[in-house]
Amino acid sequence: MHAARAMRGIVFRELTKFLHQYGRLASAVVRPALWLVVFAAGMQNLFGVSPIEPYNTYIPYQVYIVPGLLGIVLLFNGMQSSLSLVYDREVGTMRLLLTAPLPRWYLLLCKLIAGTLLSIVQCYAFLAVAHMMGISIPWSGWLYMLPALLISGLMLGSIGLLLSIAVRQLENFAGTMNFVIFPMFFLSSALYPLWRLRESGASYLYVLSNGNPFTHAVELVRYAAYGKFNGTALLVVIGTAIVCFLLAARAYDPQRGFIRRRARP
């Protein structure tokens, strides 16, 4: 019961913060919507239809890009969650949270789940906007995507949790965006199919994109949107989420992580 109360309290706190930050939902919806309107319209003639291999399912590029933009929502929100951890650490809220009489890994997991739930809310808000614009996926895909969005959100949130260890001040978050978020974003299949890179001879970009965990998160969501299953993407996403979360939990341990190192004179 004590663990359940902690989970409810942390999730409620994140929801309350979100409801008081009106620009956060607006930016989460406007950013991918802008990509959908500008980028998809300009690239439709170039890409035409794109396959979901190996199921021989061909979809228009404007529809193909929607799951990729959902991944962008998850990516940016996961990084914003790390920004909130940096802020909480500066004002002392994080220290109070981690001194609660519960395992530290569980408190971090509660924080991770709360951020993921907010990401999912923003994803479905964007789906509603895309549907009103006449670009949407099948209605059944809204349900099929839910587990994929949850797993992908946990993975990206775990990466953000790990990054929060290295980001000591809010001012350093811009560097995180330049060196982590944007490379993960552009070296992925969010905006264009990877087979185009392979056909154009950009082999090194194709290899880098295939090694990007965000690519597998996007593909997991994309396949789920059409009732398909991508086992490789699922294994990569789950494995990355577990490794990043365990590393973050270890780093937040005062006996082994960054707290003890910072306390040294």
Please spell the DSSP secondary structure of 187-219, one letter per residue.
SSSSSS-HHHHHHHT-HHHHHHHHT-HHHHHHH
pLDDT score, position 264: 47
pLDDT band with cut points at 50, 70 and 90 for residue 46? low
If one compares 121 and 34, the residue with the highest pLDDT of the two is 121
Per residue in 111-154, pLDDT (tens digit) is 888 889 888 988 998 898 888 887 778 888 899 999 999 999 99
What's the pTM value of the predicted model, to 2 decimals? 0.84
pLDDT score, position 23: 67
pLDDT band with cut points at 50, 70 and 90 for residue 180? confident
Task: Choose the most confident range, by mean pLDDT, from 45-59, 177-191, 244-258.
Answer: 177-191
Mean pLDDT, range 37-63, rounded to an integer: 61
Residue 53 pLDDT > 60? no
Q: Which of 105-109, 195-199, 239-243, 252-256 has the lowest mean pLDDT?
A: 252-256
The residues, ordered by sequence, that sit 6+ positions from 222 with a Cβ below 8 Å of its Cβ are 52, 64, 67, 68, 189
- Please report, as a single letter, which amino acid is at residue 43: M
pLDDT score, position 265: 44
Mean pLDDT, the chain, rounded, equals 79
- Burial zone of 24 (CB within 10 Å; 0-12 exposed, 13-18 middle, 19+ buried): middle
pLDDT score, position 148: 95
Residue with tokens 């228009």: 60
Per residue in 166-179, pLDDT (tens digit) is 776 666 666 666 78
> In this structure, are residues 207 and 236 in contact, taking their beta carbons and an 8 Å threshold?
no
Share of the chain above pLDDT 90, in %: 18
Mean pLDDT, range 92-107, rounded to an integer: 73
> Within 13 Å and on the Cβ side, how many CA atoms surround 126?
30
Boundaries of every domain in the chain: 2-263
The residues, ordered by sequence, that sit 6+ positions from 9 with a Cβ below 8 Å of its Cβ are none
